[in-house]
Structure 1
Amino acid sequence: MIKRWMTGLTFALVAATAAHAEVREGTDYKRLATPQPVAQAGKAEVIEFFWYGCPHCYKVEPYVESWAAKLPKDVNFRRVHVMWPGRSDMEGHAKLFATLQQMGIEAKYQQAVFDAVQRDGIELRREGDLYPWIQKQGIDVAKFKAIYTGFSTSAAIGKLSDLTNTYKIDGVPTFVVNGKYVTSPGMIGREDGTITKVIDELIAKDKAGAKPAAKAKK
């Protein structure tokens, strides 16, 4: 996990000794100090907080992509590129994400951006490298540039910063379920598909808790 004031962190992986039959508070997840409303009423919500420059985010992203592709219609999954104050190294990546998001194609190119940054070492925070890469992806470069350099993107980065602060995100990758529960690979000690299983169990847990108690039989 990448912590707020660090660019690198030794990540300790802890072998799991038992399957997650039931998620455990304090071990698999924690409760958000101040619960937040979901974006779409009537739907379960999962928010992924990440950074394109985070190798741990990159490692779990294929599992997240596979999981997201199979989500039922009553689950709203959204991504938020983390933006911490004083972290100029994040701003270029956040700006790229905000632009793709405004174009409605951030989900389509999520893995491609990660691959470019983490695998191929392309410096997408530099316009001289970014625009040729955008063109190679088949994205309308003129449209991309107009949004990338526009006021709306500056405002969008501000919103990313606000969300990072509102949810008190101090490390990535981090997942928030229904505005209540926070989990991460760092908490569960695994950088694999286990994280999506924990998320599913938190959704089920919250759904079960929302159901009215059954009336006792007379």
Structure 2
Amino acid sequence: MFKKPLPLIAYTLFIVVISSLITTAYIHYFVVGANSGDDGAPALTSISDERIKKSPIKEENAIVEIFSYGCHYCAINEKNVKELEAQLPPGSKLVRLHIGNPQNSGLSAYAPLFATLSVMGLEDKYRESAYRAIIKERLDLSDPAQLGQWLQDNGIDRTDYRSVSQSQDVKELMAYMTAVSEYYQVNATPSFIVNKKWLAQQDSDFSTFSKKLLSLLKDDSPLEP
């Protein structure tokens, strides 16, 4: 029974080491990573007054959410973001922009879908369906064939969609989303840009985080710890 203890001991040590590595990786990426900026970036950064003057953001007195249809955290935050919008002071607003880049790669792959639905006036109505299709059903809505089927399943006229997708309004919105994403170096979603100055990523439960966003909006300052 105990003739060959060394292989058994080695195997046991191997399992312990692998388990430790898996646990460490889980904590780093899913616990710490969920509560800090991407790649260790700070959860809150600000830009200088000079850069604010050159900001591509058009909206004044606004919180701009940079999100992606392919972002799980964006999807589960939908209700929270709507509640945040309802708490905004008079004269301010919440603006949703899809993350974008010139190549429409990564999480930006669905920027054309967002831009086209927005110009058609349908984005809010079909946002949940887009999240579900991409995140839960694993559909690639950047693929023309899969997109066409999704449009049909949702009762969206495919001919109208194709026509609008080539319009100048969509091109301008795509360029705007790319400009904002690149100017603020947004590489994680959701990210929130407050009054053109503050770039914030969620570092706490959304109830606490939303109070920070509102403080930045109204007082130009994060909440005191």
After TM superposition, the score normalised by the length of structure 2 is: 0.68
Percentage of pairs with the same residue = 25
- 2: CA distance between counterparts of 1:182 and 1:50? 13
Q: What are the superposed Cα offsets for residues 69-100 of structure 1, whole Å, 9 maximum, x if unpaired?
A: 55454222111111235552345301101101
Q: Summarize the Cα distance change of 1:161–1:142 in structure 2 as closer, same or farther, 3 Å threshold.
A: same
Over aligned residues, Cα RMSD in angstroms? 3.1
Once the two structures are superposed, the pairs formed by residues 56-71 of structure 1 within 5 Å of their partners are 56-69=73-86, 71=88
- Aligned: 1:29 with 2:35: no
- 2: CA distance between counterparts of 1:11 and 1:148? 36
Shift of 1:192: 3.5
Number of the residue aligned with 2:220: 206
Candidates 191, 208, 212, aligned match of 1:194:
208
- 2: CA distance between counterparts of 1:135 and 1:68? 31
- 2: CA distance between counterparts of 1:14 and 1:154? 34
Structure 2 unaligned residues grouped into runs of 5+: 1-27, 36-40
Number of the residue aligned with 1:6: none
Does structure 2 conserve the Cα–Cα contact (< 8 Å) formed by 1:82 and 1:161?
A: yes
Q: Summarize the Cα distance change of 1:118–1:31 in structure 2 as closer, same or farther, 3 Å threshold.
A: same
Does structure 2 conserve the Cα–Cα contact (< 8 Å) formed by 1:30 and 1:183?
A: yes
Instruction: Name which structure has the greater RCO, CA cutoff 8 Å, separation 6+.
Output: 1
Candidates 13, 29, 32, aligned match of 1:10:
29
Q: Summarize the Cα distance change of 1:40–1:84 in structure 2 as closer, same or farther, 3 Å threshold.
A: closer
Q: Summarize the Cα distance change of 1:87–1:125 in structure 2 as closer, same or farther, 3 Å threshold.
A: closer
* Structure with larger Rg: 2
Does structure 1 conserve the Cα–Cα contact (< 8 Å) formed by 2:104 and 2:110?
A: no
Once the two structures are superposed, the pairs formed by residues 34-183 of structure 1 within 5 Å of their partners are 34-35=51-52, 36=55, 39-41=58-60, 44-69=61-86, 71-86=88-103, 88-150=105-167, 152-183=169-200
Structure with more helix by fraction? 2
- 2: CA distance between counterparts of 1:155 and 1:14? 33
Structure 1 unaligned residues grouped into runs of 5+: 1-8, 17-25, 208-218
